[in-house]
Structure 1
Amino acid sequence: MNCIPRRLQPLHAHLIPGSTTRIQQSPSRLPTTWTRYFHPGASFRALELAFDYHENGGKAKGAPIVFLHGLFGNKKNNRSMSKALARDLDRPVYAIDLRNHGESPHDRIHNYTALAEDTENFLQQHKLKEVTLIGHSMGAKTVMTMALRDPSCCASIIAVDNAPVDAALTSDFPRYVEGMKRVEDARVMDNKSADKILEPYATDIPVRQFLLTNLVRTSPSEPLKFRIPVRILANSLDDMADFPFTNPDERWFNKPALFVRGTRSHYVTDETLPIIGRFFPRFELVDVEAGHWVISENPKDFRQAVVEFLQDKD
């Protein structure tokens, strides 16, 4: 998508007039040790996730960063930012494909508990410790879920343009799904035909180009198809609007947490800030001049926010 460089807004909060975004948890709230929490319900079969590894030519030796994309995205969306953060912070970056996306396996179950278990399994497989988890949109709710399930799984989180609340997805996402279904049903042979069919459902060119990056051809004589399982994801939209935890008196994450929101997005409203503060008492907030696609619309200011946050924690 096109980048629109803008000025980074300073850290601020709207919880209480004159308050800061970093909220200290009272000593009575602090647990003496972190214990592993599991969200009630069935445990899902963890899938082995595809990933790209960025280490700045072997120079990045610090604590790892794990980068999670949003709905309909993949690890390649975050390639440039991953490389930049590896250089800026001297920390290796693992950009992963979540289940039903990119090169990772498909499964009919697609909710935040399953996404969290997959990523927890990834951390265990690769023996990653003191991790910073960065996630955009669907990825943001995944890293929040992980932090609340098991606070010891990471050292900090960065949640990009999403909040720990049940909130219906904007009407755009069901339209995108319907458009992608129409493309597959038409059995198109070229991107131009796919773009024409998708245009009424995704009128913004950058969004349409983003969705069409998922089109692949299995053989020269076969029509194009989406590598993401469109119908599985269509049936999971309600789960993507959901959030597994509802009681911040039972689960919270008392480690550094950065929330980055787009100034033109409606996913993290001022009304959600108090609940963010209860689940994540040490959270900081940065507003970036962008819509929902914060990282691609304003990479400069997003990068600055992340680097300042993580350098401050070193």
Structure 2
Amino acid sequence: MLGLASSASAFRHACSGCARRIRVPVSASAPVSQRFRAVGARTSSPFSTVSLAYDLHEPAKPAADKETSPIIVMHGLFGSKKNNRTISKVLARDLGRHVYAVDLRNHGESPHDHRHDYTAMAADVADFIRQHGLKEATLIGHSMGAKTAMTLALHEPDLVANLIAVDNAPVDARLGSDFARYIVGMKKIDEADVTRQAEADKILEPYEKSLAIRQFLLGNLHRPAAVDGADGAQKTQKFRVPLSILAKALDHLGDFPFKDPGEVRFSKPALFVRGTKSKYVPDEVIPLIGQFFPMFELVDVDAGHWLISENPEAFRQAVIRFLEPRE
């Protein structure tokens, strides 16, 4: 990958289990990227943003001047703001900062839109920052949310103070076939008109053996409001996420909108946290991370891809060390 594999072994030992800043030589300052409307992931045509649903977690003891320098937390594919509720509360408490956990487009309670790519998702978050009058925002994103955070930081660095990318990297990579398999199973659940989650779980089991992952996916089920003027909600459960839209987007969700780190970079602090049992951030991409994000640090956490839930204390410590003021 871009001739970077030869540098991999030097980083493996240096970054294992510690927060250490790695500097990669880069060329002269790159020009600031154009606005979202001018550059699309696959088209130059303007597109509409959506207004994101969110939960605000306020600290009991706000740190001085932190009301307008919040943390914005973004989930991964098939996730929602409720997945980040616990870590958001903890970070609000420990850092004294307001934490906004958002639902990205086509997820949770946010609107659906036929376009689902990182340029569009990043533009939604940029609008969210402006609409709420936020300054010096910290972005935390897991997986799909991590690439959204990276895209926004590279597109509009003035909106972002720093970012934390969790188990993803600024590279094109093939998305695992398990996601397409999940959608097949989830569509079967929608077609079955289930009324209990146990029924849905039984349908999904042939598509995913892990109970924890099935429970995560089934967290998207809800009972839609009744139609035709009837009171209450329907008995059948359906998925909130638009499965057809996400199915069409899967082929491109492994992509990253930027290809050349010589054209644009984010020259503010960035933390990359990866799971030691995950394959999403292999050693050979680390130099490329440094070219896009020259002020980056890397922390390895003993966990798989879902490291925030698998090892929350190690993740919390890494975030606190990164975000606490330094002398």
TM-score by length of 2: 0.86
> How do 1:164-243 and structure 2 match up within 5 A?
164-218=170-224, 219=226, 220-243=233-256
**1:173-223, CA deviations, whole angstroms, 9 ceiling, x for partnerless residues?**
111111111111111111111000001112111111011111011245442
Q: 1:313 to 1:157 in 2, by over 3 A?
A: farther
Give the whole-Å Cα distance in 2 for the aligned partners of 1:79 and 1:18: 32
Give the whole-Å Cα distance in 2 for the aligned partners of 1:77 and 1:71: 11
- 1:18 CA drift (Å): 6.4
- 1:73 CA drift (Å): 0.5
- 1:101 CA drift (Å): 0.6
- 1:118 CA drift (Å): 0.4
Give the whole-Å Cα distance in 1 for the aligned partners of 2:158 and 2:9: 27
1:60/1:86 contact within 8 Å kept: no
> How do 1:1-314 and structure 2 match up within 5 A?
14-15=10-11, 21-23=21-23, 29-30=28-29, 36-38=34-36, 39-40=39-40, 41-57=44-60, 59-61=62-64, 62=66, 63-218=69-224, 219=226, 220-312=233-325
1:235 aligned counterpart, secondary structure: helix
Give the whole-Å Cα distance in 2 for the aligned partners of 1:183 and 1:128: 40
**1:248-303, CA deviations, whole angstroms, 9 ceiling, x for partnerless residues?**
00011111000000111110000111111111111100000111101111100000
Give the whole-Å Cα distance in 2 for the aligned partners of 1:211 and 1:73: 8
Q: 1:16 to 1:105 in 2, by over 3 A?
A: closer
1:163/1:268 contact within 8 Å kept: yes
Percent identity reads 55
Aligned residues: 301
Q: 1:16 to 1:211 in 2, by over 3 A?
A: closer
What one-letter code is carried by the residue in structure 2 that aligns with 1:46?
T
What one-letter code is carried by the residue in structure 1 that aligns with 2:93?
R
Give the whole-Å Cα distance in 1 for the aligned partners of 2:252 and 2:308: 24
- 1:116 CA drift (Å): 0.6
1:85/1:303 contact within 8 Å kept: yes
Q: 1:288 to 1:297 in 2, by over 3 A?
A: same
1:268 aligned counterpart, secondary structure: coil
RMSD, aligned CA: 2.2
2:33/2:155 contact within 8 Å kept: no
Give the whole-Å Cα distance in 2 for the aligned partners of 1:190 and 1:175: 22
What one-letter code is carried by the residue in structure 1 that aligns with 2:130?
Q
What one-letter code is carried by the residue in structure 2 that aligns with 1:233?
L
Q: 1:14 to 1:54 in 2, by over 3 A?
A: farther
Give the whole-Å Cα distance in 1 for the aligned partners of 2:202 and 2:299: 37
- 1:16 CA drift (Å): 8.8
1:4 match: none
Larger deviation, residues 51-60 vs 120-129:
51-60
Q: 5+ residue gaps in structure 2?
A: 1-7, 227-232
Give the whole-Å Cα distance in 2 for the aligned partners of 1:206 and 1:16: 30
Q: 1:58 to 1:103 in 2, by over 3 A?
A: farther
1:9 match: none
- 1:56 CA drift (Å): 1.7
What one-letter code is carried by the residue in structure 2 that aligns with 1:254?
S
Q: 5+ residue gaps in structure 1?
A: 1-11
Q: 1:71 to 1:288 in 2, by over 3 A?
A: same
1:29 aligned counterpart, secondary structure: coil
Give the whole-Å Cα distance in 2 for the aligned partners of 1:13 and 1:151: 31
Larger deviation, residues 122-131 vs 15-24:
15-24
1:60/1:87 contact within 8 Å kept: no
- 1:313 CA drift (Å): 5.0
Q: 1:258 to 1:18 in 2, by over 3 A?
A: closer
Q: 1:290 to 1:17 in 2, by over 3 A?
A: closer
- 1:29 CA drift (Å): 2.0
Give the whole-Å Cα distance in 1 for the aligned partners of 2:33 and 2:204: 47
**1:113-141, CA deviations, whole angstroms, 9 ceiling, x for partnerless residues?**
11011000000001111111000000000
